[in-house]
Chains A and B, each alone.
Chain A
Amino acid sequence: MSKIIESGKGFVLPDDKVQQSVSRRKFLGYGAAASALVIGIAACNKDDDNMPSNGINLGSGDAGILNYAYALEQLEAAFYTQVIASPYSGGSVAEMALIKDIRDHEIAHREFFKNALGSGAIQALEPDFSSVNFSSRESVLNTAKAFEDLGVSAYNGAGKLIVKADYLVLAGKIVSVEARHAAYIRDIISNGTFADNTVVDTNGLDKSRTPAEVLTIANTFLKTKVTGSNLPTS
């Protein structure tokens, strides 16, 4: 039975764990034209695109969160690009067509963030897929499942860190597509596991992960390491 935990602003959610206190963020720029996206981000990330010895720093603020998403989309796009370039055996024609769709979606996400970030974008990341056997359907699909579930939890966890409403909506537009991918990949591994209890809790809620949790996992698939040390945490 879930406990009821009081949160910072007197709003209460039923949950199994202590809720973090609510943020005191201000909502600057809500309602601003979406076209401000490109310029705004480029302007506020000039100092964050250096590469310290501990890896690529994603930067701070909303630009940092968008670079965080850009890093994850780079990883996913590179993975599916290789899957389609050297397809595993044992997948049906229909399955490979949908995997190709997923590749195109991830490339679209990657290129979108690249353009949106403009000169504030982090560099292209070099993936490390040495742990993946691209000739094995099982290896590829299990990696795909991990990436998609990771992506869903990453966007879910990043939502509250975003200040500008337009960016939150963009993240929302992408996360549900990642969830559709996740459900499909899970179902072709084992039908009916689209939303099983390894990802959905007893309240019917999906997982959220912090950037630190996500990057620890993502870095195991990256030669170019990424750090989110300056990202917002609440």
Chain B
Amino acid sequence: MNLKHIFNEIEKVDPEVYERLDTRRSAMKQFSGIAGKLALAAVPIALGSMFKKAYGQSNSTLFNILNYALTLEYLEAKFYSNALAAATAGNLAIPTGAPRTAIQTIGAHETAHVAFLKTAITSSGGTAVPEPTFDFSAGNGSNNGPFAAVFTNYALFLAVAQVFEDTGVRAYKGQAAEPALMANNDVLTAALNIHSVEARHASHIRQMRKTNGGLVPAGVDVKPWITLKQSGVDSAAVQASYDGEETTTQATIQIVNINGQTISANAASEAFDEPLTMPQVLAIVDPFIV
């Protein structure tokens, strides 16, 4: 999904998006036309700053955040739904019993999150974004990206699931302190209540990966929590989901060996999960959205 597609999607729910972004409508249209040619990393940054200018601290901002959350939940819900269909068809070897049941439980939660967010948006007078078309190979629509075997290779499926869950945790965390969210107690609490469920999922998927093996680099351990910025996934494509997690300083306080306690850098990094901004997350999920 390039910037032009994102604007097209937003224009469907907010016809005034160009006017919000800039009164020079034609200039913005032109910009969106060339956005597809911009370097991938630059696009979400441009997008984020434009959103910031375009929307005040109004319900529009809140709808924007909720539609962002909804998009991530669509991604997860469809991912697990496809995986379970592939397992039923005999293409993806999710073992029956505990592993299959766990994926069903997680998938049901993601589907419930989609329904919850859609209802929250529409019943408040907003418009929920439609479900995008996904390419879970991370191929940007080619269906032949680095994870092309995600619904035939169980270890790869678990790896991508881990990345989605860990990224989801970071994405919700990154929105919590947005003024529009802090201004609405009900929405903030609901977002926090989803956030911790995503963390429970991440913990379980990580345990499933450890049980299943096949982690890289060889010798790396995957725990229920995130150690430094290790993914345990053999793909540089996922590193952006873990960069920043290695920090051992919180609010200028150094956590390693704090107050004479024996706290390693590993433990210090594990003890705090780190947020990601909306532009960072949009860049991460971009290859998965057609």
**B173 lies within 8 A of chain A by Cβ:** yes
State the Cβ distance, B189 to closest chain A Cβ, in Å. Answer: 5
Q: How many of B's residues come within 8 Å of A, CB to CB?
A: 71
Contacts of B223 in A (CB 8 A): 98, 101
Query: In the bound complex, how far is the Cα of B275 from the Cα of A17, in angstroms?
Result: 30
Is residue A216 contacting chain B, with contact meaning CB distance below 8 A?
no
CB of A187, distance to nearest CB on chain B (Å): 6
Closest to A37 in B: B251
Across-interface contacts of B215 in A (CB, < 8 A):
none
Query: Who on chain A is nearest to B118 by CB?
Result: A14
Q: How far is the CA of A207 from the CA of B102 in the complex (A)?
A: 20
A contact residues, total (Cβ < 8 Å): 73
In whole angstroms, how far apart are the Cα atoms of A179 and B124 in the complex? 30
Closest A residue to B59 by CB, please name it.
A11
Partner of B271, one of A11, A152, A177, A205: A177
Contact A30 B177, beta carbon cutoff 8 Å: yes
Q: Which residues of A contact B98 (CB under 8 A)?
A: 191-192
Q: What mask results when residues 176 to 199 of chain A are scored 1 for a CB within 8 Å of chain B, else 0?
A: 111111111001000110111001
Q: Mark out the residues of chain A between 138 and 157 whose CB falls within 8 Å of any chain B CB in the assembled complex.
A: 152, 155-157
Is chain B's binding surface mostly helix, strand, loop or mixed?
helix
Given A114-B259, A177-B225, A183-B224, CB of A205 within 8 Å of CB of B273: no
Flag the segment in B19-27, B192-200, B281-289 that touches A.
B192-200
Give chain A's interface residues, CB within 8 Å of chain B.
2, 4, 7, 9-15, 19-20, 22-23, 25, 27, 30, 34-35, 37-38, 98, 101, 104-105, 107-109, 111-112, 114-116, 152, 155-157, 159-160, 165-166, 168-170, 172-184, 187, 191-192, 194-196, 199-200, 202-208, 234
> A12-B123, A20-B186, A114-B259 given. 9 additional CB < 8 A pairs?
A35-B251, A38-B251, A101-B270, A177-B270, A192-B98, A204-B113, A207-B193, A208-B189, A208-B193
